Chains A and B, each alone.
Chain A
């Protein structure tokens, strides 16, 4: 299934999904990526749907950021690996309201996603159902309730030593 067919398949399965194709380069150097945003309730099913495209899709990592009233989580998948030139990176977004930042875990589908999910909980203060809360990257001296990637009052600005401010002075 090429990128256009992947998009078509998702539109059919999840009406109302925001999904688009991003292209870069031309000819043999052309690279495509698919970006999609689903509702939180559809997230796990959307991930399951990837298994209809390739027997075992690849989960690379999830990234995320604080976008104001919501926390945006982007799960980066890879489809069609193993086929020369046919790989389709698939970036699946969910937006979690800060009042209830809860989402489903995908470790049932990708057991290898556990570090990534724990990292998002630790860095952004979200909750992922069924994944035990554990410090993965931050030191134990990091105060509880402070999440390094948050931009609001739960962020690290108050406790950070802004070394960069002294640069060049």
Chain B
């Protein structure tokens, strides 16, 4: 008689409040195989775009993801600008860069909180989410909104950053510089976090390459790939930037959950530096290639061609493809968010892990699908584990390890 049985996690995910269905084959506590099903929140947004003009699509793009609400409209704009051969004014490129780097800071801090929650450290989750408020405040101060800001426009941005506001931005950056050591101490030096993440959920460099991993997930496995460096867009050609690899901080690129934490933490520091560089280097100038919306719409209506844009979103390479055929609406639009690429790498990461490690491993790729909050795990004997039960397993493992370590 086989000792293996099936576990179905989802379609509402236990780890990240994001819908995905994972089917595990387990033997005792050990995961032997995994497959996944997507699409629980597919909104046919690419199809809907073919019924709207590019400016309307811009606002739809902003709503693809609540966290990357600057990256998506920016990648969409870049794809349209590529198809229409529109040159974005230099100052607008800097403002775009500042905003996407602020977005990276808030995304990575948010993620640190989620990861801590999955390990059972809710005090750390509350701490990280509290300090994340500062970056959201500065985003609101600059753009008028914390989440969907509506400042992107094809050919530039709709709102300038006044020189008198630079001080406020620097003040927020200083705030993060001061607390960075504390954040690093919690996430990298805490014995329990180390024990729960080191050598857990390993993605080898070979697997990362074959499975087309992107972003911090790929870099933690030693794949030197960062769109900002390799194909510099926006203001990045003017900035001093190198891809963040675990080696940057003297660690080995083992591709485990711990190295993925290292990469994201270092990227917070990198984003602070990049924003400071932008503030130092940006010069006064126009912020829109075509300030009159009606003229822009007419210009876009006449575009016949295709455009592709690559961008380094917080979770990795983001790509938008657009096809325009001289009509009011795009003929085709394809969005590939980083999580789409980082799901196949989950399979080797989860292979041979313990059930209690599933939440933190899945969280370690920082998956982003949508936001809901429910989970059911069931085996063939119809026993049911709720999300809380699964998290309880994870917490119990942390406590057991702490107890073991204190002996």
**Partner-B contacts on A (CB < 8 A):** 22, 24-25, 28-29, 31, 33, 35, 56, 58-61, 63-65, 74, 76, 78, 80-87, 89, 91, 110-116, 135-139, 148-149, 156, 160, 162, 164
Question: Is A76's CB under 8 angstroms from B308's CB?
Answer: yes
For the complex, is B186 an interface residue (Cβ under 8 Å from A)? no
Question: Is A82's CB under 8 angstroms from B42's CB?
Answer: no
Q: Determine the chain B residues whose CB is within 8 A of the CB of A59 once the complex forms.
A: 212
Distance A110 CA – B121 CA, assembled complex (angstroms):
38
Distance A141 CA – B39 CA, assembled complex (angstroms):
13
- Quote the shortest CB–CB distance from B154 to chain A (angstroms): 14
Ranked 5 nearest A-B pairs via Cβ: A112-B212, A63-B334, A87-B230, A61-B336, A137-B39
Tally inter-chain residue pairs, CB-CB below 8 A. 122
Question: Is A25's CB under 8 angstroms from B341's CB?
Answer: no
- Quote the shortest CB–CB distance from A142 to chain B (angstroms): 10
**Partner-A contacts on B (CB < 8 A):** 37-39, 42, 44, 46-48, 51-52, 81-82, 85, 87, 209-213, 223-225, 227, 229-233, 237-238, 242-243, 306, 308, 310, 317, 319, 321, 323, 331-332, 334, 336, 340-341, 343-345
Partner of A111, one of B85, B211, B224, B230: B211
Distance A87 CA – B227 CA, assembled complex (angstroms):
8
Question: Is B230's CB under 8 angstroms from A86's CB?
Answer: yes
Q: Determine the chain A residues whose CB is within 8 A of the CB of B225 once the complex forms.
A: 58, 81-82
Question: Is B321's CB under 8 angstroms from A63's CB?
Answer: yes
Distance A142 CA – B233 CA, assembled complex (angstroms):
39
Question: Is A76's CB under 8 angstroms from B319's CB?
Answer: yes
Q: Determine the chain B residues whose CB is within 8 A of the CB of A24 once the complex forms.
A: 81-82, 85
Question: Is A149's CB under 8 angstroms from B48's CB?
Answer: no
* CB contact under 8 A between A91 and B224, given known A60-B336, A76-B319, A156-B47: no
**New contact pairs (14) apart from A78-B231, A113-B212, A156-B44, CB-CB < 8 Å:** A29-B232, A61-B341, A63-B332, A65-B323, A80-B230, A82-B224, A85-B229, A85-B232, A111-B211, A112-B210, A137-B39, A149-B46, A149-B47, A162-B51
